[in-house]
Structures are given as structure tokens and as C-alpha cells.
Structure 1
């Protein structure tokens, strides 16, 4: 993760402070847990002493109020008493389980793992053994550090994604700024070219030359307009999706290799969709060019337009080498490319134009060694 020099120090201080604070909370919680466990042990030792007094007292002798209070006051800690004859007595265990020997034996083993059993001894003779488990409060407290760690993890994830999003936002602003600056820089020589072309028209030269120059100037103006719209919210107007798609497709067809077979298919004559024409045409051109690159300049490119409920579906298919299934989502991320020489910006721009600007969808519909089909979905008016 990258931080600018100005951001780095405050971020490190913040993360360090958060780590120290969380460490103190964990340490304090652990100390409190240990102390609470010691208090519970002391309480059970007092209970065992009261139980010894109960065993020692004659049948006809009344027990003191303190002894009775100690024995009857513990209603939260589960206990199992086992005397020297192996007889089992349980306290604070579910009523239906108190006669289940197998369950009680399992509980004894569980209690032994949780706490050291307390032996009730008189005159060197073992009378009973007290097995006890953690109280409900202690059990809840035991999982508190885990819950805290989970909170820390989520807190760290939020911080990570915040800075990651911040970084992506900065990169987007950078690319948008570069795009606008490029459009601005192209504008000056473009104006000059327009002037020179008008001058050429006054000379005795073949008019076809100036016509072709005008076409290239128009193309440069289109590119300039596209770059100028990156980073700003483009205006969408109702446009005929069939005509605009055909126009972008035909432009590339005329300027591509004769080794590529182009086909255009649709049953629709006219369909209005909210579009920003320069940016939409840019998307179509990017997808077609990617298909041409995937075929290494030889193969078939097909474009099909059809209705899908409230959406119009534009399918661009090629006969290239295909895209691995694991990359179907990643290829739309900036910097990801399957080409040896590529910046990985084309498809990320297409995704931004279609999904952010036009509120549509784009995806890899199918892809294998025989080719790839890309799908654009746009809502119709």
C-alpha cells in the first residue's frame, strides 16, 4: 500500500496508537479473566469447606446459618460431587441430565480440563471430590478477547480498504487530469491543422487529399472530446443505439486489415437509449480493437444487437485465443492486460463508461480457445 510522504507519518502514528490501545485492552481483559477465575476458585473452596462441615455434622444437629447460606447461595457454577464410593451428585446441571451417567462422566472430564478438582478431606481420608466448571459469566468473558480480536480485524480491514479506496481515488484523479491535459495539448495543433487544411484547399491539389485530411482532423477532434470528458459527468441524450453502434463499427471496419471478416447483425431498425455518443463509440472501438489484437490481425469479428427485456444487449465476439475464466472479472481492473505490450487501461475505461456513466453492465459472456463474447447491457428508454 502506498502513502504519500505527507500522509505517511500521521497514518503510522494512528495505526501505532490503535495497536497500543487494543493491546492494553487485551492485556486488561486477560488480567480480569484470570482474577475472576481466581475469585471463582476461592468461592468453590469456601463451598467445599461448607460441604465438609455438612458431612461432619451429626444428623440431628442443626447447621449454622453461614454454612447453609454458602451451600445454597451458589446457583451459577455447575458442580459434580463424587464420594469415595463413586456415588455422583450434581448441582446446577439441567434437571433432565442429572440421572444421565454418561453425560455426567463427560462433564466430569470437561470440568477437570477447565479447573483443578477440589478434594474434600477429613483426617487424611478423601471423602468427596468436587468437580466444577466455569460459570456462565466466566464463559462469556472467556470469548470476549476473541470478539475483540474480530473487531480489531474488522477495524484493520476498514482502514485498509479506506486507504486502498483513497489510493484508487487519487489514481483516478491523476488519470482524469492527464486525460484533460492531453485533450488541451491536442487542441492547439488541431486548430493549426484546420487552418493549414483550409489553406491547402486554395491550392491546385487533388481535392481528395483535403477530404481525407478533414476526416483525420474530425477523428482527432473526436479523440480530444473523449479525453476531455474523462473525470467529469457526461451528458446523456436519447440516441439511436443501432445507428451509433453501426457508425463506430463501420469506422473500424474500413481501417482494419482485409484479413478480418466483419459482420453486423440485428433485427432492430431504431431504438432509443440514453447515450453519450463519443464515449459509447469509444467503448465499441476498444472492444473491437481488443478482439482484433486477440486474433493477431486475422479472424472474424461479429457484432449483434438484440432486446433483453428492458435492456438492449450488444454482443461483440471474436475468434481469438480467449480469456482464462479466472481473469473474467480482473481484466476490467486498471493495469490488467493479456497483451505483452499494453497498459491495461482499455477495458477499465470501457467499464467506467458503461457502468458508471451509462448505468449499464459489461461482462465476459463466454470465452474459450475458440474466441470471446463480450456483452454490454444498456437500459432502453
Structure 2
């Protein structure tokens, strides 16, 4: 069910959405995500600014209470409270620069005593300290208006200039920096993926061309041979026998053309007896195997009661590929291929193709279905990838390497939905 749903979704995109429409949708979604990140980050920035402004406001109010008091420094409790506030409260809530000026906005000496969180390098002259403070005042005033400190008669006696914490700046630039980094990685990833995809597509097309040439080559060569026999009227075989063999080759060509025409389309399925289909393929291979120069026997253990909804041409192609790979993996002069079936209680059945060949390493097992991958010197690595596509995408099944031991052989498994009877 899950695979059907995925395929139906894929069909929907292929049928109703073009490639540029999919890209447009993805671009819109990405743009909305970017806007969401920026909005969320800026909302946090505003909350931090308000928090910093409240802290400065508290500092200004406490300073105003102290400086506008009539007895001022003569009130020991007031002095102690203010000093406690400066030493214990301010460092916890204010971690950004603050400058306390006179009523005209001019910095007051000594500058270390009338500023907060501003570092003056050792050895700086008074003029250099003043220049630094004046420069910071200009920047602070451009960002936030100063808070006025007044006496009891509402006269301005001082001004508090401030900026914000470094965290605010970091959060302001974070979306831009993050998006640039993400953009670079996305670009690199897209470029790499696109290159890999194009390379894989190239291998697939080359493989398809070679596979087509290979599939067509045998019956075409046979036809040419029969034509030569008829042309020169060789008495070793009758014309009727030659025509009969040519009909078989033409039928084979038609089967090959049908198979390739169904790749990429939605093939029609019919409810067929699986064991009979497998037996037909095995019989075909029984005649071909002696030409490989090896004595390879195909032992069948089939269940005649098993039916499944399949496309005959494509599924026969899968069995052919598995048998061909099994035969080619047998490097000795003789070997055995076992093909047998098992039923699963969950309305599934399995087809196993086991050989006594050279086997595979775990690394090869992971790569064996990848397009273009082949262990043969003259192979093009398309047969098993086509098998996987046919079984999993067209027949809602699974195909995998069940077991493989180097030097002992390999077992491929096909899992399909089950119909016990037609």
C-alpha cells in the first residue's frame, strides 16, 4: 500500500506538474521558510532590545533618584543602596556600553567612572579616551535617543546614552549569514547531485543502448544465418525447418521490442500462473546454457497453484536476467542453479534464484542494483537495475540479495503479492 501511494504521488507530479512548476513550488516554499526565519529572528531581536531598554531605564531612574536627592552623598543609606545597585544589579542586567554625560551631552571626566562596559586600553591619553567616547556617543545617538536624568525641579542634569547587547547584532545578521551558508551548501549539493544524476542517466542510456544491441544481436545473427542457408539452398536443412527457426527468432525480436517499449510506461498486467512462466524461461535457458561451454543444470521446485497479477514480458525478463547472472557467476566447468518458490502467510510469495557461483562481498551486495555497476569486464550494469525497477515499481514487489557467500554462491529473492488461484 505504501509503495502504491508513493507511485500514485509520483504519477500525479509527472502528469499534472511540469518540471518548472515543481521548481516554482519549491522556490515559493523555500521563500516562505526564509521569511518565517527572518520574522521569528527579528521578533526575538525586538524583545531583546526592549529588555535592554528597560534595563537602561532602570539604571537612569536609580541614577536620577540619587543625583536629584537633596542630601545626595550625605545620605549614607542612599549612597550604599546606589553603590549596591551599581556593583550587584547593573552587571547582571546591563552587558552593553552606557555613557553618562552632562546636561549638554558632553562626556564627563574621568571617563572610566562615567561609562559602563567600555574598555580603555592602558596608556590611552585623556584626549584619546575622549575621542573614543565621543565617537561612541555619535553611534549611540543614531540608534536610540538618550534617556534624560532630571532633578526635582525637572531640569536636565545628565543624559544616559546606550546601545544594545552584542547578541542583538548577532541575531540581526544571523539569518543572512545562515542563509548564505545554507545557500552555498545547497548550491554545492545541487551541483553535485545534478552532476551525479546526469552521470547516472548517461550510464543508463549507454547501458540501455548496449542492452538493446545485445538483446537484438542474437536473433538478428541467427536470422542472417538462416537467410544465408536459404540463399545458397543448403540441402542439410529444409526450407520449412529454416522458416520455423526464423519465426522463433522473429518472435524473440518482437518480445525484445515489447519489453523495451514497456519500460517507462504503465504496463498492462494479467493474472497468470507464475510457475508456468518460470518453466518457460527455464526451458529456453536449458537450450542456451550448453553454448556457454559449461555444464550448468537448472533445478526447479515450483508451485503450480500460485498466480499473480504481472506483465508477462517484463517479469519473464527479470527471471531471464537472474538466470543469466547466475550462470555467468559460475566460473567452474559445471554448476547448479536452483529456482524455487515459497508462500508467506501474509498473502505474499517468494521466488528464490540460487547459484553455486563465486558469490559476492558485502560491498558488492550494497552496489549490485545500482545503474551502471557491473562486476563483469564487458558488462554495463543495467540488468539488475532493470529487474529492480520492474519488480518494485511495476509489480509492487521487492527484489534483494537474500544471501551471498564468497566462493559458495548467491541467492536472489523476489517477493510478490499472492493469488492462490485464478
TM-score (ref. length: structure 1): 0.60
8 Å Cα contact 2:230-2:239 kept in structure 1: no
Query: After superposition, what is the alpha-carbon deviation per residue over 1:200-259, rounded to whole angstroms, capped at 9, x for unaligned?
Result: 999784699646665555444433443444444332211111110122123213322453
Unaligned segments of structure 2, at least 5 residues: 1-26, 73-81, 102-107, 119-162
Q: Secondary structure at the match of 2:268?
A: coil
Q: Pick from 67, 76, 79: which aligns with 1:57?
A: 67
Q: 1:154-303, aligned counterparts within 5 Å?
A: 155-156=186-187, 157=189, 161=193, 205=237, 210=242, 215-257=248-290, 259-266=295-302, 268-297=303-332, 298-303=334-339
Q: Secondary structure at the match of 1:332?
A: coil
Q: Pick from 329, 335, 341: which aligns with 1:305?
A: 341
8 Å Cα contact 1:119-1:130 kept in structure 2: no
Alignment length (residue pairs): 314
Greater shift after overlay, 119-128 or 182-191?
182-191
CA 204–261 in structure 1, closer or farther in 2 if over 3 Å, else same: closer
Query: After superposition, what is the alpha-carbon deviation per residue over 1:139-163, rounded to whole angstroms, capped at 9, x for unaligned?
Result: 5424313441365257534576567
Distance 1:375 1:181 in 2: 28
Distance 2:375 2:315 in 1: 23
Greater relative CO, 1 or 2 (CA 8 Å, sep 6+): 2
Distance 2:233 2:393 in 1: 43
Q: 1:11-26, aligned counterparts within 5 Å?
A: none
1:264, distance to aligned residue in structure 2 (A) = 1.6
Greater shift after overlay, 322-331 or 160-169?
160-169
Query: After superposition, what is the alpha-carbon deviation per residue over 1:163-190, rounded to whole angstroms, capped at 9, x for unaligned?
Result: 7657766876787788789999999998
1:363, distance to aligned residue in structure 2 (A) = 1.4
- Aligned match of 1:77: none
CA 319–171 in structure 1, closer or farther in 2 if over 3 Å, else same: closer
CA 57–338 in structure 1, closer or farther in 2 if over 3 Å, else same: same
1:380, distance to aligned residue in structure 2 (A) = 2.8
CA 180–366 in structure 1, closer or farther in 2 if over 3 Å, else same: closer
Unaligned segments of structure 1, at least 5 residues: 1-17, 63-81, 94-107
8 Å Cα contact 1:180-1:230 kept in structure 2: no
1:286, distance to aligned residue in structure 2 (A) = 0.9
8 Å Cα contact 1:234-1:276 kept in structure 2: yes
1:336, distance to aligned residue in structure 2 (A) = 0.7
8 Å Cα contact 1:45-1:118 kept in structure 2: no
Distance 2:236 2:175 in 1: 90
RMSD: 5.4
Larger Rg: 2
Query: After superposition, what is the alpha-carbon deviation per residue over 1:52-92, rounded to whole angstroms, capped at 9, x for unaligned?
Result: 94386153479xxxxxxxxxxxxxxxxxxx96999411588
Q: Pick from 359, 376, 397: which aligns with 1:339?
A: 376
- Aligned match of 1:88: 88
CA 54–261 in structure 1, closer or farther in 2 if over 3 Å, else same: same
CA 184–305 in structure 1, closer or farther in 2 if over 3 Å, else same: closer
- Aligned match of 1:356: 393
CA 234–336 in structure 1, closer or farther in 2 if over 3 Å, else same: same
Distance 2:260 2:195 in 1: 27
TM-score (ref. length: structure 2): 0.55
Distance 1:289 1:178 in 2: 16
